Amino acid sequence: MQIKSIKAYHVVQPFVDGPYRMSKGRQADAFDAVIVAITADSGLTGWGEMAPLGNFYSAAFPAGTRAGVPEIAPHLIGHDPRGLARIGRLMDTVFKGHPYIKSALDMACWDLAARAADVPLVTLLGGKESDMAETYRVVTHGTLDQMAALAKRIIAEGCRRLQVKVGGNVHDDIERVTTVASAVPKGTVIFCDANAGWTPYQARQFADATRGIDYTFEQPCTTIEENMSVRRMLDKPMVLDESVTSLEAMLEINRLGAADGLTLKISRLGGVTKTRQIRDVAVDLGFMITVEDTGGAEIDTAAMAHLSLSTPEERRLHAIAFHEWVTVRTAFNAPPVTGSHMGIPDGPGLGIDVDPSLLGKPFFEVG
């Protein structure tokens, strides 16, 4: 089997609940996605998606993806999409760095390989460990009343896991988390995610003032060393996200003992191939794992679900249903969400059924 053609689409995906707000005035109105279709000479098509969260969240931006895919895609024509490691090496050879640009292409090859084998992607990723993964919802940055009201609404809708955005003014964030924790039932799982917004000094201030609240601290500072300096005085679990940029970074986190858990973002790592590699090593090293991405709709969420459900249940933290965040549809047979749990679609590959008419005209095609 050989890659015959590649098409790329640009799809803006507005958020259902309006702007997504983080600390320090950072916000986005939509996921700005690139969706890739890779078709083989067998007639089968695999799909991949990558969507940065604005230009501020990670070292990726929408215009960069749209510019980079046409630079890489022509080099893949004629290669076997099932040779996933070789495809990855080829992309790294012809285009140095910028893993986020390669993510959708890598994902589409995995989808195509699983469709060719007539098995769900989860089977190629190690097998399904459970039928559903528990999901979390985000309480975005806002006023005390706004955040408390949103937290109450999320709990009323059946979710029991909250990620509360912090990372702004420390004293305001202490009030925010205290208010949210008081507004939800005892036993609600809370993660306080600063998105690398604090210095170690600020993170220690926050941790010291909130010792009485049960939560997991997520990525308070930018570097692994800064987070490690906070962890030394912390009496709560710590999860790192933005620091997990490669296998080497994950191994450094492990060497230092800088975290209990890791959030793996598919596009930050360069695709399903590298996410699976890092996930498997991290599981063997004893980390708790969340697999997600920077954004996307049905295609990307399906990939997240397959990676999540092939993660051992005892090592899985939670998942997120990004396709429920946006107002547009890109595919049918989306990952099923029941209450606070998400599964994988039935069918080979990612399991989703993409309708190209929902995507508009390709901005690039080759082959």
Q: Which of 7, 102, 265, 274 is catalytic?
A: 265
What distance in Å separates the CA atoms of residue 269 and residue 247, rounded to the nearest whole number? Answer: 9
Containing 254, the helix (H) or strand (E) segment is helix 247-256
* Token pair of 60 as six digits: 């990726």
Largest pairwise CA distance in the chain: 61
User: What's 199-227 look like in SS3?
Assistant: CHHHHHHHHHHCCCCCCEEECCCCCHHHH
Q: How many CB atoms lie within 10 A of CB 234?
A: 17
What distance in Å separates the CA atoms of residue 250 and residue 184, rounded to the nearest whole number? Answer: 33
Q: How many CB atoms lie within 10 A of CB 295?
A: 27
Beta-bridge partner residues of 364: 8
Residues 6+ apart with CB under 8 A from 323: 296, 297, 298, 301, 334, 335
Q: Does 165 participate in catalysis according to the annotation?
A: yes
Select from 249, 295, 246, 275 the least CA-distant residue to 65.
295
CA distance between the termini of the chain: 15
Q: Which of 165, 186, 236, 361 is catalytic?
A: 165
Q: How many CB atoms lie within 10 A of CB 108?
A: 32
B/e letters for 243-253, b = 16+ CB within 10 Å, e = fewer, are bbbeeebbeeb
Q: What is the number of alpha carbons within 13 Å of residue 2 lying toward its C-beta?
A: 7
* Token pair of 26 as six digits: 């950072």
Q: How many CB atoms lie within 10 A of CB 7?
A: 22
Residues 6+ apart with CB under 8 A from 348: 114, 115, 117, 118, 119, 120
Please identify every residue annotated as catalytic: 165, 265
